[in-house]
A and B are shown apart, each in its own frame.
Chain A
Amino acid sequence: GAGVSQSPSNKVTEKGKDVELRCDPISGHTALYWYRQSLGQGLEFLIYFQGNSAPDKSGLPSDRFSAERTGGSVSTLTIQRTQQEDSAVYLCASSFSPDRSNEQFFGPGTRLTVL
């Protein structure tokens, strides 16, 4: 497919467990973003990658959250010791470049439920 893909589409985990969420951006897109959509907070920015570097991590809510990107392509968002407040839909987006005029294309999201 030509769009942004994310896996898994749904993840149910127990409090305290670690989870990994995966994002495959559109081929050739150098910029990659993670956002979180939750009932209480709306849509929040988490982290932005340009290539494999993360110049803006300002949205990561705690040190339990980390992300990496390899080969300028796939990205993984890891949440350690999950808490119930981590339950949300995690969205990934990519754009051709980070220039402000370039559209961000969103994936379908991963719905995370922490029991």
Chain B
Amino acid sequence: GDSVTQMEGPVTLSEEAFLTINCTYTATGYPSLFWYVQYPGEGLQLLLKATKADDKGSNKGFEATYRKETTSFHLEKGSVQVSDSAVYFCALRRTGTASKLTFGTGTRLQVTL
């Protein structure tokens, strides 16, 4: 079945450091790929998405590129801020009628001054 694997946290970085959170997936066909973010005390929010190979999703300085050859969708940000501290979830959504999201386990990011 479908699965998403993301790097375990917590990830602790200093402000302005470079961030990478790895995500790889297993799925048949051509899924859409997503990063969701959950800030402390808040609900899940879509951060960015990509719907086909080589697409790059971007938002709030975060980027991720859909790499079909490596089945990856790594999240990157050039300079993190304290306000980026949150839990980040990688997810996929298959084509066809089964439109549920399959999530990774989440990676907690803590950014310090």
**Footprint of B on A, CB under 8 Å?**
31, 33, 35, 42-45, 48, 55-56, 59, 91, 93, 95, 98-101, 103-109
Q: 14 extra interchain contacts, Cβ-Cβ under 8 A, other than A42-B106, A103-B46, A104-B46?
A: A31-B99, A42-B104, A42-B105, A43-B103, A59-B100, A91-B43, A95-B99, A100-B31, A100-B51, A101-B32, A105-B46, A106-B43, A106-B44, A108-B42
How many chain B residues sit at the interface, stated as a range, is 20 to 34
Q: Which of A48, A101, A105, A108 interacts with B100 by CB under 8 Å?
A: A48
**Footprint of A on B, CB under 8 Å?**
31-32, 36, 42-46, 49, 51, 89, 93-95, 97-106
- What residue of chain B has the Cβ atom nearest to residue A101's Cβ? B51
Most buried by B among A35, A42, A55: A42
Q: Is the interface of A mostly helix, strand, loop or mixed?
A: strand
